[in-house]
Chain A
Amino acid sequence: MKKRILAAVLASASILGAVAGCSSNNATSSTASSSDATSSATDSSKTEDSKTEDSKTEDSSNAGTSDKFTLKEGEGKTLNIAVWNEEFKNYFEKYLQDKMPEGVTVNFKITENKDNAYQNKLDEDLPKNEAASADDKIDMFLFEADYALKYVNSEYTLDVKSLGLTDEDLSGMYQYTKDVCTTQDDAKLLKGVSWQATPGLYAYRRSIAKDVLGTDDPDKVQEALADWTKFDEVAAKAADKGYKMLSGYDDAYRTFSNNVAAPWVNENKEIIIDDNIMKWVDQTKTYTDKGYNNKTSLWSDAWAADQGPEGKVFGFFYSTWGINFTLAGNSLAVKEKDGGKLEVGNGGYGDWAVCYGPQAYFWGGSWLAAAKGTDNATLVGDVMRAFCCNKDFGVQFTKDTQDYYNNEAAMKELAASDFKSAFLGGQNHIALFVETAPKIDMSKISIYDQGLNETFQAKFKEYFDGTVDKDTALKNFYEAAIVKYPELKKPADA
């Protein structure tokens, strides 16, 4: 009997251990079941309310969009929103939750982005959406630039004008955010809207810049990093002082992949590796061999740690959301989930600044789209209008979150104002974004970008690691790419 009790105790201890391991791992790793999502959404919105009391009152006075959304007769009582992380959920709870009509439940269905999991889930759910029961229908979903065309050109997204958005609503937005979501046929329907524009910058650690360059002034640092040759020189100087110029292999990837001459796939369905992407390969190999980077991979723990207070990395290529959402969070000594606050004195918060870097680029961006079959078309339209099409709201939103709002006039207003980012040591980074945002060119995107970018980075990681040579890495890339997209071909001369 004793033995049995012992065995039971040990067994349950091990199971508990496994469960605890899972839950502390990451709350976003599983698709939240609808009831869970609801309760946690309401819970955290409550705590959010108490925390952001001041900004709330400001919101309502400045933005003037405090009126509740309307729930049309016959529309659903459940608003399901498919997303891949918590970013939009947090915004929703802060700015939109209290505008929701009485009795409407909002569910966030989170599926992680890795390995195309989010798209796979959408691809499974969207075709069934019209037939799904009212409470299970996806009403709205988010997508990124890397695979925007796939959904924009499909029949599973709705024209935003059919949701009640007018040309006037859309007039302030950056043109490229609309181009991405315009169908490529003759109808030229707009299928999605975004609250953000995502020009990229180089974010650097002020203290390290001072040590290496003798200054942390953004203009002077920009001068030192104005092109790739200069960038390499600074990398060498930083290495002499024991710093790394970049954290990992993929950090500079977007600056090259955004400046390609042609899309990933040509009209013969052949995969074309652009010369500019091969430049990234050569640069990264050099950096790795010379010890200018820390051999991490994007989104890995080691990469995140390099952005923390103990990090020895000069800087990171990041676009708008990366600075306010990812980098600021990673810079803290006491992380937000452990009760830390986004304030100067907590780790590296305040020790950062941004400059243009060697090349203009963009990275990411999230768009809202209504899913075909939604039973909340009016509500989705209201959410889009309130969140993406309001200049005054945009000014306040950017002040609160330091995200870059998708309204050129609003952002110019902020750029000219005395707006300061505490995280960036008092710099007005919006002024820099205003310069680079109009340069964004999305004419080279294709529906294969997400899968091919991810595969290319993964397969060339082995080349940088030194486990394979360049030709093998290329061969592995083509093979893995064709497994992912069997309709594609390796060009005959490659």
Chain B
Amino acid sequence: MAQAANAGNVPVKARKGQIGKYKKWGYIFMLPFILVFLVFQAWPLIQTFYYSMFRYFKSGLSWIGPEFVGFDNFVAIFDMSSGNNILALTWNTLIMWVLGFVPQIIISLLFAYWFTNVRLRLRCLGFFKTVMYMPNLIMASAFAMLIFSIFSDIGPINELIKHTTGGEAFRFLSYTGSTMGLVAFMNFIMWFGNTTILLMAAMMGINESVIEAAEIDGASSSQIFWKITLPLIRPILVYVMITSLIGGLQMFDVPQILTGGQGGPNNTTKTLIMYLNEQIGTSKNYGMAGALSVIIFIVCAALSLVVYYFFAADRSNKKSKKGGK
């Protein structure tokens, strides 16, 4: 910034005076955000860290604690003999995220590629884009409720199964595979439209002449896709992946509604946030819930740092190239 200012013809002193005159407005405009952030984010965050070290919950109508217990809550969460230990919960969460994310990214890439490909001349793009985005507008809990009734023991899918096979109903929510599959399916349906639109934006940013040049050189369309399009949208791909991963780690409403809060069968579809919800449900166990939140916070922060450094590295690469010129 300083260099840029120096590059201009205006004397440094005069500029500084002007900036000083307007500087306070910058702070004033920032004030609402800072205040909201401090009151509603920073302070609760500090409290969460603080209470994660306490035994503090409600028994009936009375409170027990707060009583300082050090890292006991963290130890309990990492207790591997429990079915609700942190690794099992993280594993459940990640598996369901991967099951939803893999088809999502493949379908989204394909659609984005088709939609931005001028040679295909697809029609009614606006219609398709709207339709694909629509599942995202429905509340996740309403969508989960819908899937729950469709796949329930007496729902339409099971009526169909009974009619065609003449056998018993298939009880989807009694098996880990089918329950996870339904959760993944819902996440896929809800988010692939969003991802498609992000990837389309990335692909439209590719200079058409690069693709034309490849064509003239005789590249096939799959070669163009793998060797030109994909590498050029890499930053957006990484962004999509990381934001989806952070969203996935916080997966809650879909499995919560679908399994009636149980995360069944045998706790295999219980996510991190569902367990957090159990802790603050009846017992208002701020200690355990705090400890769990702290762990989730650390994981999400680490992932965010990865994104930050990825983009920072990308930018500095470009800069150094420019400099080399």
- Which residues of A are interface residues toward B (Cβ below 8 A)? 3-4, 6-7, 10-11, 14-15, 17-18, 21-22, 25, 115-116, 119-120, 123, 126-127, 150-151, 154, 156, 295-296, 300-302, 305, 447, 451, 458, 461-462, 465-468, 472, 475-476, 479-480, 483-487
Contacts and interface: CB of A to CB of B under 8 A. Distances in A.
Contacts of B152: 300-302
The winner among A18, A25, A458, A472 for most chain B CB atoms within 10 A is: A18
A236 to B, nearest CB: 20
B238 interface: no
Given A4-B126, A18-B142, A487-B57, 14 more contacts: A7-B130, A10-B127, A11-B134, A126-B61, A150-B61, A154-B60, A300-B152, A301-B149, A301-B154, A302-B154, A467-B264, A467-B265, A476-B83, A483-B288
B266 A467 contact: yes
B126 A3 contact: yes
Contacts of A150: 60-61
Given A6-B130, A126-B61, A467-B175, A484 B281 contact: yes
A231 B51 CA distance: 53
Nearest to B84: A479
Contacts of A3: 126-127
Nearest to A117: B281
Contacts of B281: 115-116, 120, 484
Contacts of A461: 264
Contacts of B126: 3-4, 6-7
Contacts of B142: 18, 21-22
Most buried by A among B58, B59, B84, B145: B59
Given A14-B134, A25-B145, A465-B265, A479 B82 contact: yes
Interface in B241-283: 260-262, 264-267, 275, 278-279, 281-283
Nearest to B125: A3
A387 B168 CA distance: 48
B64 interface: yes
B131 A10 contact: yes
Given A15-B137, A120-B281, A451-B282, A462 B266 contact: yes
B137 A486 contact: no
B59 A485 contact: yes
B259 to A, nearest CB: 10
B60 A447 contact: yes
B279 A483 contact: yes
A6 B133 CA distance: 13
5 contacts: A11-B134, A25-B145, A116-B282, A120-B281, A462-B174
Contacts of B134: 10-11, 14
A451 B154 CA distance: 27
Contact of A123 (B58, B137, B154, B174): B58
B283 A11 contact: no
A465 B57 CA distance: 33
Contact of A479 (B83, B149, B261): B83
A411 B76 CA distance: 54
Contacts of A486: 57, 59, 64, 283, 285, 288
Interface in B130-185: 130-131, 134-135, 137-139, 142-143, 145-146, 149, 152-154, 171, 174-176
A296 B153 contact: yes
Nearest to B135: A14
B145 A458 contact: no
Contacts of A151: 61
B83 A475 contact: yes
Contacts of A467: 174-176, 264-266
A437 to B, nearest CB: 29
Contact of A120 (B64, B139, B282): B282
Contacts of B279: 483
Nearest to A3: B126
Contacts of A4: 126
A171 B114 CA distance: 80
Interface string B87-128: 000000000000000000000000000000000000000110
B282 A472 contact: no
**B134, B175, B266, B279, most chain A CB atoms within 10 A:** B266
Contact of B261 (A115, A295, A447, A487): A115
A454 to B, nearest CB: 10
Contacts of B57: 486-487
A270 to B, nearest CB: 15
A300 to B, nearest CB: 8
3 tightest A-B contacts by CB? A3-B126, A467-B265, A7-B130
A479 B143 CA distance: 30
Nearest to B148: A301
Contacts of A123: 58, 61
Contact of B84 (A300, A447, A468, A483): A483
A9 to B, nearest CB: 9
Given A3-B127, A126-B61, A476-B266, A484 B282 contact: yes
Nearest to A473: B266
A115 B285 CA distance: 16
Contact of B153 (A295, A483, A484): A295
Contact of B138 (A18, A116, A120, A487): A18
* Interface hub of A156, A466, A486, A487 (most chain B Cβ within 10 A): A486
Nearest to B179: A467
Contact of B59 (A120, A468, A487): A487
A300 B288 CA distance: 32
A483 B64 contact: no
Interface in B39-83: 57-61, 64, 82-83
Contacts of B283: 483-486
Contacts of A465: 171, 174, 265
Nearest to B57: A486
B174 A487 contact: no
A8 to B, nearest CB: 9
A482 to B, nearest CB: 9
A28 B139 CA distance: 19
Nearest to B288: A486
B83 A127 contact: no
A449 to B, nearest CB: 12
Nearest to A14: B134
A284 B58 CA distance: 34
A287 to B, nearest CB: 16
Contacts of A127: 61
A485 B286 CA distance: 13
Contacts of A17: 138
* Most A C-beta atoms less than 10 A away, residue of B61, B83, B174, B265: B61
A472 B82 contact: no
